[in-house]
Homo-oligomer: A and B are copies of this chain.
Amino acid sequence: MNILVLGYDGYIGWPLTLELLKDGHIVSGIDNGSRRFRVTECGSQSLTPILTRASRWTYLRDNFDKVHLLIDNNISHMSEQLKYIFENYSIDVIFHLAEQPSAPWSMANFHRANKTQIENVSGTLALLWAMKEACPKAHLIKIGTMGEYGTPNCDIPEGRIEEGPMAGLLFPRTAGSFYHLSKVHDTHNIEFACRNWGLRSTDIMQGVVFGLNETDNDAELTRFDYDEYFGTVINRFCVQAIIGHPLTVYGYGGQTRGFIPLRDSIKCLKIAMDNPPVKGEYRTFNQFESIHTINELAYMVRDALHTLNMPYRIDHIPNPRKESEDHYYNPRHLGLAKFGYSPSISIHRDIYELIKKILPYKDRVIKEVIMPKTTWK
């Protein structure tokens, strides 16, 4: 298939691009490099020594003959160019991962809240209009977040209300940051584009992703962030673990979320691609492997450290976020299972392997970025 990956240089985008090329697809990519820039700006760097953007370009060109286009730009400024690409490269599938992905970053100040919402909403709008005008049959696969739903005191269906007089309406969103809200806005805009223009889309409500891509080739390693902004919780814990820093649980630690290893995230994205929705369909998948409290995750890291004969300590620190620390949480996730998704290995095992895998990089850790500075209140 002919595929466009928006955000191909990112944490998920890079290994996804590589897998699609290895599977024999024709791949084009767009990325504005903002993730690299912003991680640097907050004083951090990827734990893994990843290639520069220029070297990644060269690597792709040298190793795959089906790389079509690699563009360095912001999709929200590309409404006309996107149309040109769609018209001239007959794109079948668009993976949209080109968004500002950090909740704490979006809560730091007005400037960042605004930048997050404007970039994310505007980029998706540019894409939707270009699709409508130049490739209305393509399949848009968009990364949203389980955080769009928040933690309501009821079961969470996949995207829409399933029964009663409101059946078929979008399940209400109660997001917990301006970043999560930007994804809620995208959800509404995409649902409308499908309903009004007959586009088709899979909107992925993704759990928290963790881990590294599996490769023996250093050129193919994806980035791995552990700072308070761009590091997700398991990745942060594992970095704390390898440098002997206490695991810092925010507050009580009863916060419950869905989690998925990077390997499975990519597996699921490919399942969505291989089983497209019909014209006009706006489809939602809740994409996660399993549900855990933050405390459970800390215990799993502790168990791994115990097995590895490494020191460990768990500290509960004041929660910088405003969130329930003990709550009901029961989201459904049957959509992907129906198309064949089952978890590769247990999250316990995954965490153990991850710690072993990142141990060689422990001298690259910048300790100053580990503790949170941004509060929600």
- Write the residues of chain A forming the contact surface with B, with a CB cutoff of 8 angstroms: 76, 79, 109-111, 113-114, 117-118, 121-122, 125-126, 129-130, 152-155, 161, 164-166, 169-178, 181, 184-185, 188-189, 192, 196-197, 322, 376-377
Q: Can you add 9 more A-B contacts, CB < 8 Å, to A110-B130, A161-B166?
A: A114-B122, A118-B121, A118-B122, A125-B178, A152-B166, A152-B169, A169-B174, A175-B188, A181-B192
Chain B residues whose C-beta falls within 8 Å of the C-beta of A111 in the assembled complex: 79
Do B110 and A196 touch (CB < 8 A)? no
> A181 to B173, Cβ gap below 8 A?
no
Report yes or no: B377 in contact with A197, Cβ–Cβ below 8 A. yes
Question: What CA separation (Å) do A136 and B192 show in the bound complex?
Answer: 34
Compute how far the CA of A109 lies from the CA of B79 in the bound complex, rounded to whole angstroms: 11
A122 cross-chain contacts in B, Cβ below 8 A = 114, 117-118
A142 CB to closest chain B CB (Å) equals: 16
Point out the residue from B155, B171, B189, B192 that lies within 8 Å of A172, measured CB to CB: B171
Partner of A125, one of B76, B113, B322: B113
Q: Specify which chain B residues have a CB less than 8 angstroms from the CB of A197 in the assembled complex.
A: 377
| Residues of chain B lying within 8 A (CB to CB) of residue A192 | 175-178, 181
CA distance A165 to B165 in the complex (A): 13
Closest to A117 in B: B121
Task: Give chain B nearest CB distance to A325 CB in angstroms.
Answer: 15
Verify B189–A166 contact, CB threshold 8 A. no
Asked if A172 meets B166 with Cβ closer than 8 Å, knowing A196-B322, A196-B376, the reply is yes
Q: A188-B175, A197-B377, A377-B197 are in contact. Are A126 and B110 (CB under 8 A)?
A: yes
A189/B178 in contact, CB under 8 A: yes
**Which B residue sits closest to A152, measured CB to CB?**
B169
Query: Judging by beta carbons under 8 Å apart, are A170 and B173 in contact?
Result: yes
**Chain B's nearest CB lies how many Å from the CB of A117?**
6
CB of B117 within 8 A of CB of A377, answer no
**Which residues does chain B contribute within 8 Å of A169, judged by CB atoms?**
152, 154, 172, 174
Would B164 and A79 count as touching, CB distance under 8 A? no
